[in-house]
Structure 1
Amino acid sequence: MATFDTKRLEIFVQTVNTGSITAAADLLGGTTSGASQQLRRLEQETGQPLLRRRSRGVVPTEAGMILAAHARKILSRMDAAQADLDDLTHGRRGSLVIGAFPTVASSFLPVVIERFKSQYPSVTLSIRSTRLDQLVNDLERGQTHLSLLWDHPWRPLTAEGIRIDELFRESFVVLVSRHHRLADVKSVSMGDLAAESWVVRAQNHPVVEVLDRAATAAGFHPSIAMYANDYQEAQAMVSAGIGVALAPMSAVDVPHPGVQLLSLGEAAPVRRIMVGQREERVYSPAEMAFRTTLIESVKGRHQGDSTPPNSQY
């Protein structure tokens, strides 16, 4: 079985296409003598004459026409393979699994995805939205390529083997009904809310600790009126006057029409939003491109910030 050299096949196809060894050599940046030598070697490999010389150029033999038809397909597939590899090298193809948590997945992340997909439409994205501990576990086990993470100043997130970089910080804000006595003010203190009933997230959600810490610092213990399953439910109950609530800005990216957001000023609790990647591995071009898009999206969002004071989101 003959083993074909793709360079020789390329010279042969161009010779058949142009009807001239000289023209083929010119197109490929070579010499006529060099092309003739490669064609003779190709004929030796096939064991058959491939070209018939005429007074004005050459024409393929029957064997030459068969080989040319197959060679065109081979060269076309090789070009496609090289293009795919080039795309992969530049991050335009491949697949990524991104870890996220609900509040950022419903606010900031879609902006990033839209920007990334417009630049790299052939990269397949999968999103896993779950709890913080599972996000870290997925990174450690290699089930996600990179993940959005969060922490609070009093408990910085550390995970062995995970590279963690801060993207931005966001403040917590107070949610009150538009009919609340404080609805017309822009900023309040936690002390102003000591007598309020609170709507908080259920199942030991992290915001419960944030509220407890903020309330304790203000000298009171919060009275809980309801444990909500998600921030949409919490906003709805706040709008109905069941109580007030505390939430990170990304959780109220689309506020309920019956709810007013109040800043806690410089005393507002904050949390860091970060990106995590597993260390000691080579990051794919697509992964690095997504990371770059994350950072660019953060800068763009910050420049267009219209959130209450002290929010760095």
Structure 2
Amino acid sequence: MTLDDLRVFVAVCRAGNLSAVAREQGCTQSAVSQHVKRLERETGVALLERRPRGVAPTESGRILYEAAADGLAGLDRAVRRLADLAAGGGGTVRVGTGGATVRHFMAEAIVGFRRNHPAVSLEFRTETASRRCLDALLANTLDLAWVTIGAPVPGLEQRPVTELPWVLAVRADDPLAGRPAVDARDLADIPLVRLPPNSISGARLDAALAELGVRGGSDTSVADWDTALLLAELGLGPAVVPAVPGLRAPADGPLRLVPVPALPPLPVGWAVRRWDTLTPPARAFAAAVAASCASDPDGAPLRP
């Protein structure tokens, strides 16, 4: 049993597909299969079972996967810290973000962190959705990920930092634009610019509207809220968006932002593999972002 065997096995469990892992590893599917077979010979149990669309770990395989994933993640962190010490530097913090996360939530924190930790490198990896950030954490290619807080994910810890109220973004000439607030029921039958339902924030919005009995249609879908705002401004339809820090609509501009108080706020914050194993620089950066969010007058900070 080698580290390569375990790494390949963990990758197969996550991907659920031998050929996908072979492409990722730059080897043949047969080579991937040999790693798994060697583990099965040494453990004496079947670790994978075939499914119509790939493979999945057996009960024995899940036990090995959970132990191997945690062990490999800890080993990788140790190797990174040793490399930092050998290089005499302050280390690297790998951060996963959404398309507009850095601008809305981290700009002030980054400036302060760089001033206080000049030897630490910040490495940002932009993903199109929180789910992809969570996958990257599970693959141990990130230290921290800023995500929409959703259902628990095995192997990860999520810590909400702030809650974002929802607003309706509409053109200034829209009949709803002059209201102090919008009743969620007024959104029924209005085609909204929406995020895909498979995104965490989009799913949360759809569930909240459905609970209020609102099942509006949508003929436009976007990948991020900033694009939804732009399309609303261009007149392609209203958009219900979270009021991210710094979101403003100039009084003389074409867009209006009207609160939708009936919708529960959207929780956002940090996801990590394990808080107690984060490096000191990673913990410092997470705290800096949380402090920045707490100082925003429009946000609703959460305390752990």
**Shorter-chain TM-score: which interval?**
0.5 to 0.7
User: Which of 282, 288, 291 pairs up with 1:296?
Assistant: 291
The yes-or-no answer on 1:137 pairing with 2:125 is no
User: d(CA) in 2 for partners of 1:224 and 1:245?
Assistant: 10
Q: Which residue of 2 aligns with 1:188?
A: 182
State the Cα distance separating 1:177 from its structure 2 match.
0.7
Partners of 1:218 and 1:169 in 2: CA distance: 20
Aligned to 1:273: 268
Gaps of 5+ in 1: 1-83
- Tell me which residue corresponds to 1:37: none
- Quote the residue 1:16 is aligned against: none
Residues 42-92 of structure 1 deviation map (CA, whole Å, 9 limit, x = unaligned)? xxxxxxxxxxxxxxxxxxxxxxxxxxxxxxxxxxxxxxxxxx97xx7xxx8
Distance 1:286 1:121 in 2: 11
Q: Do the aligned partners of 2:95 and 2:123 also contact (CA within 8 Å) in 1?
A: yes
- 1:1-313 maps to which residues of 2 (within 5 A)? 93-130=90-127, 131-151=129-149, 156-202=150-196, 204-250=198-244, 253=247, 255=249, 257-265=253-261, 267-279=262-274, 282-301=277-296, 305=297, 307=298, 312=300
Aligned Cα root-mean-square deviation (Å): 3.0
> Percent identity among equivalent residues?
20
CA distance in 2, matches of 1:209, 1:283: 30
Equivalent-residue separation in structure 1 for 2:270 and 2:111 (angstroms): 18
Alpha-carbon deviations, 1:148-205, whole Å to 9, x = none?
1212xxxx43123323222111122111111111212221111123242322235844
Residues of 1 paired with 2:144 and 2:210: CA distance? Answer: 36
Q: Which has the larger radius of gyration?
A: 1
For residue 142 of structure 1, give the secondary structure of its aligned residue in structure 2: coil
Are the counterparts in 1 of residues 166 and 241 from structure 2 also a CA contact under 8 Å? yes
Q: Distance in 2 between matches of 1:283 and 1:239?
A: 41
2: CA distance between counterparts of 1:127 and 1:103?
12
What's the secondary structure of 2:91's corresponding residue? Answer: strand
Q: d(CA) in 2 for partners of 1:229 and 1:289?
A: 30
Superposed displacement of residue 125, structure 1: 0.6
**Deviation, structure 1 residue 108:** 0.5
Tell me how far apart the structure 2 counterparts of residues 205 and 139 of structure 1 sit (CA, whole Å): 17
* Structure-2 residue corresponding to 1:74: none
CA contact (8 A) 1:104 1:251 kept: no
Give the secondary structure class of the aligned counterpart of 1:272: strand
Q: Which aligned runs of 4 or more in structure 1 are off by greater than 6 angstroms? A: none
Per the TM alignment, residue 283 of structure 1 is displaced from its structure 2 partner at its CA by 2.7
Q: How many residues end up aligned between the 2 structures?
A: 214
CA separation of 1:253/1:278 partners in 2, compared to 1, >3 Å: closer, same or farther?
same
Give the TM-score normalised by the residue count of structure 2.
0.61
Cα separation, 2, equivalents of 1:232 and 1:295: 22
Letter in 2 for 1:157: A
Larger CA deviation: 167-176 vs 213-222: 213-222
Query: TM-score normalized by structure 1?
Result: 0.59
Query: Partners in 2 of 1:142 and 1:191 — Cα distance?
Result: 43
Give CA-to-partner distance per residue, 1:237-273, whole Å, 9 cap, x none.
Answer: 32233321111122983558421111112x1232211
